Chains A and B, each alone.
Chain A
Amino acid sequence: MSTDAAAPTAADLSEITEQVWTSYLDPDGEHPLLVAPPVAGPDDVFAAVSISGAWRGHVLVTCSPGAARHAAAAFLAMEPGEVGEDDIADVLGELVNIIGGNVKSMLPTGSFISLPHVTTNAGARTHFPSAVQVCELSGTWRGEHMSFSMWQSEGERAEVRAA
């Protein structure tokens, strides 16, 4: 939390996600996020917040529909089968908001975070014009893929495909 902090790293994302797992997704310590290489195939669920001002870019959570359903169930203290699409969208939005808010605390003073944006339909695409990925934490949770990444606005055009 300083004015000249370097961009957050995968280790920072790991520390933040550990707190999220302890508080909401795995309070009993039975289902940790297991770090694993990014999957070759696409994810179907995207949640993002944008950061503007002194640091410009995006914080992105992508995951399989199964992981999104388990996350919604854990956040809302429901059974996975009881979770609706609105629950999934709201929970993924809150999840990326928590990750993004904590990341923002590591960025230079004068950075601002947007409200979250969530896409849950397969086949959608999320474009980050002129942004490149600066770090990613990828893993499996309950056998389902989840990824947390940061994208910094630069001269290059980057694209994240949902399908």
Chain B
Amino acid sequence: MKILIADDSRVMRQIVTRTLRQAGFGGHDLVEAADGKEALAKVATEKPDLVISDWNMPEMTGIELLQHLRAQGQQVKFGFVTSECTPEMQQAAEAAGALFFITKPFTAERFDEVFDPILG
């Protein structure tokens, strides 16, 4: 599968990549985007099977990205990895069609739990 990692933090993109590997999902193709706008363009060009997105990003937030994708009829699997986690955010994510909501900091065990049904 191809996975798009959208996060404005280079460090966090590296950590997500490393944690995917630690959780046993290292064999997938990974592409990156530094904000929501770039991620929107890369969904069109790279055609990923899964998008793992930060919430708070410049240019376009993660929830705006998901809403844009769904408005275009794009049904790529999508979820959030974010340091912010309020009930309101989780409800908005779910309503927009997010499959998961992972809170930073996270562990490989948490990735395994969330991604095994999706990537396993």
Q: Which residues of A contact B (CB under 8 A)?
A: 1, 19-20, 22-24, 27, 75-77, 87, 90-91, 93-94, 97-102, 104-105, 109, 113, 115
* B69 → chain A closest CB, angstroms: 23
Q: Does B14 contact A (CB under 8 A)?
A: yes
Number of A-B contacts (CB under 8 A): 60
Find out whether the CB atom of B83 lies under 8 angstroms from the CB atom of A115.
Answer: no
A99 to B83, CA, bound (A): 8
A97 to B57, CA, bound (A): 12
Q: Does B26 contact A (CB under 8 A)?
A: no
Chain B residues within 8 Å of chain A by Cβ, number? 22
Q: Which residues of B contact A (CB under 8 A)?
A: 8-12, 14-15, 18, 56, 58, 82-88, 103-107
Find out whether the CB atom of B86 lies under 8 angstroms from the CB atom of A1.
Answer: yes
B88 — which chain A residues lie within 8 A by C-beta? Answer: 109
Find out whether the CB atom of B9 lies under 8 angstroms from the CB atom of A93.
Answer: yes
A87 to B15, CA, bound (A): 13
A102 to B105, CA, bound (A): 9
A75 — which chain B residues lie within 8 A by C-beta? Answer: 11, 14-15
Find out whether the CB atom of A90 lies under 8 angstroms from the CB atom of B85.
Answer: no
Quick one: which of A94, A104, A105 has the most chain B CB within 10 A? Answer: A94
Find out whether the CB atom of A90 lies under 8 angstroms from the CB atom of B106.
Answer: no
Find out whether the CB atom of A98 lies under 8 angstroms from the CB atom of B107.
Answer: no
B104 — which chain A residues lie within 8 A by C-beta? Answer: 23, 98, 101-102
Known A24-B105, A93-B9, A109-B88; judge A100-B15 contact (CB<8 A): no
Find out whether the CB atom of B107 lies under 8 angstroms from the CB atom of A23.
Answer: yes
Find out whether the CB atom of B105 lies under 8 angstroms from the CB atom of A98.
Answer: yes
Which of A24, A87, A100, A109 is in CB contact (< 8 Å) with B83?
A100
A99 — which chain B residues lie within 8 A by C-beta? Answer: 83
A79 to B55, CA, bound (A): 30
B87 — which chain A residues lie within 8 A by C-beta? Answer: 1
Find out whether the CB atom of B84 lies under 8 angstroms from the CB atom of A77.
Answer: no
- With both beta carbons as reference points, the residue of chain A lying nearest to B57 in the complex is identified as A115
B18 — which chain A residues lie within 8 A by C-beta? Answer: 77
